[in-house]
Structure 1
Amino acid sequence: MKLLVINAGSSSVKFQVFEMINDLVLVSGLIEKIGEETSEIKFELENSGKNNSVRVVEPIKNHKEALQKVAGILLDKENQIIEKKEEIKAVGHRVVHGGEKFKETAIINDEVKEMINELSSLAPLHNPPNLQGIVVATEVFPQAKQVAVFDTAFHQTMPAKAYRYAIPNKFYEEFGVRAYGMHGTSHRYVTKETAKFLKSDKLKLITIHLGNGCSMAAVRDGKCVDTTMGLTPLAGLVMGTRGGDIDPGVLIHLGKKYNLSVSEIDKILNKESGLKGLTGLNDMRDVLELKEKGDVKAKLALDVYTYRIKKYIGSYAAILGGLDAIVFTAGVGENSAYVREASCEGLEFLGISIDPSKNDKRAKGIRVISEDENRVKVLVIPTNEELEIARQTFSIVQ
């Protein structure tokens, strides 16, 4: 069975086609700068052992035209992906926010689309383009079943004591104000991979997703019991442009002191904080390079970044009542030996200790970077959110 996975952003469409017999990726690509004269189409063909990269720059007016381009790429005889649209049996969509309504993956119908739209108030930057991708994909691939895979679903196993805020009840009861968490598809994927690697479903895990956005999850026996992000992706760890946990009084103070509007504060928190706020740069690679040159601000930013991770490791170890493994994943988590080492430094009392020779090695696939005699395994597991979306889609369609 061939499945198309779509992650629609406000001006982009990321896509992959899988042959689900063996989880084979046939093509993966990205269309970005939609609505501009310099829209870009980039994709890689990976069938028959080939890995051919293609890049095209041309104007693409909207998401419908973008998905028509995707269909054209799939149907092109030279690409050898499909001969007709009907070969795509299902389209799996990443949807960021499912609120309390969606605890699992869902076949999309009018009711589901309406609920995704209603939940846009909780993820205004993400749910609307996700929904637009669904609407357009239904037009372009009318024969395929449309499936929604929610980033928040994995965290719906959290107990109320973990997700409720100590604010007046009416805000939860009337507006659903609570912690939901994000990156659930990634946390679910690495949780499953850890269970397979360690040959056990009964594990106490901390999964650490570090990209431009960052989050952690405490996982017991495959189920999330707590996570660092909250109602929105602003809570928890330090990120590329988001600062994570902050005293709410700071926002009140800034609003009064500088006469800032809500939208101005929103921009500061979402676009100008985190690594960017501390260094002027939001890419971890650039910050690490600055630190190597002796830049004081970069060193402080990395100290704050890794201190926050370490703080949550201790917190989640307490919540779980012990630890079997810690898992680093996503761009920074998979590639930065410095961040992994600094985040685990001084945690020997918890049974956590990294072997520098293992940590510095670059390798594909799952690897253990902890000392051999360690009670707690420290793992690096490459995430694959698209594959997890494909698997979830395949499962529900079957």
Structure 2
Amino acid sequence: MLDIADDLNRWVEEGRDFAVATVVSVGGSAPRGPGAALAVDAGGTVIGSVSGGCVEAAVYDLCLQSLQDGEATVERFGYSDEDAFAVGLTCGGVIEVLVTPVTAAAPDRAVFAAALSAAGRGEAVALARVFKGPAELLGRPLLVAPEGEEGAAGTYEGTLGGHPELDRTAAGESRALLAAGRTGEFVVSESGTRCGSAVTVLVESSVPPPRMIVFGAVDFAAALVRAGKFLGYHVTVCDARPVFATPARFPEADDIVVEWPHRYLRSTATDSRTVLCVLTHDAKFDVPLLAAALRLPVAFVGAMGSRRTHEDRNRRLREEGVTEDELAALHSPIGLDLGARTPEETALSIAAEIVAARQGGTGLPLTGSRTPIHHDVPGDTRQGGEHRGPVPEGASHA
């Protein structure tokens, strides 16, 4: 439910009663993963999605029923061989959905409200809920803050409805998932719950958006900023030339920095989700910047340039002491081979390579392919993989 926190937080502030359906587990080829949510208020207004349309009508009815009886429930949806048009996922997948009422009478409304408010403000927060176990525990929320931050009860607020030992165990597991920026599940054995049976808990993690830093205030950068924002990144544009690095040229950028790129990179915060896109294709900027970037534990480092520029840049980087292993992590020329020509097409090819690297995709057409449509990348938190797809001539400019 944290993926629609902004809208749900507004409903809370307006005093609306609503029910939330959250995907808690997925099998096979399903359109959306754990944490995807659909919510319905008492007036029948709906927001979000759990399946891209396959089972939305049935889930809508479940939410209305949950609002009426005040009970949480879990429902399983899968493909029906007898009738592909019956309620089910015709794509062949299976999903389980937890439906939870959040009403004025619900004892946990304040915990849900706190979680939605924190997620809406962009703070790191995890929300844990039981979806397999005793009926009285279903949907009960535990709000978990990152380690080192103080909540209402140390590092968590609320209860899963069982023994305090269950809450402590769930809080510890949730903090680990939150630290990795992951939404996932874990099982607490019967002995750990003290409530007579094992339970399975979904943890939704909401973390601040990952960073995309675009070096080079060029026309291609303006298009890439828009693509980065569309993908959910916090986008920074950095260039040493103040006449080019201006808000007027990059109105959609979150930050604009006038500084030598390598100096800025050494002074700013990056992490394992950060994407670095070097569009300057000028050796005096590229070489010191990439020498620093390729030694950072970031998700993706890509550089624009023709193949001739790429070879010359690699030679210069080797002279600066960059190793072959470090060079192997460089996506250059940046982007997938889409035949891109315009800045917008080039930005699309770059964004596509970033997504492919993050998700472990091949970058090849799905038509005729036998690879999975939905790649399962354990622990995906917008981290880049080792995949390096084909590179576009259209994204290569000397």
Q: Same fold (TM over 0.5)?
A: no
Q: Which has the higher helix share?
A: 1
TM-score, with structure 2 as normaliser:
0.31
Q: Could you tell me the TM-score, scaled by structure 1's length?
A: 0.31
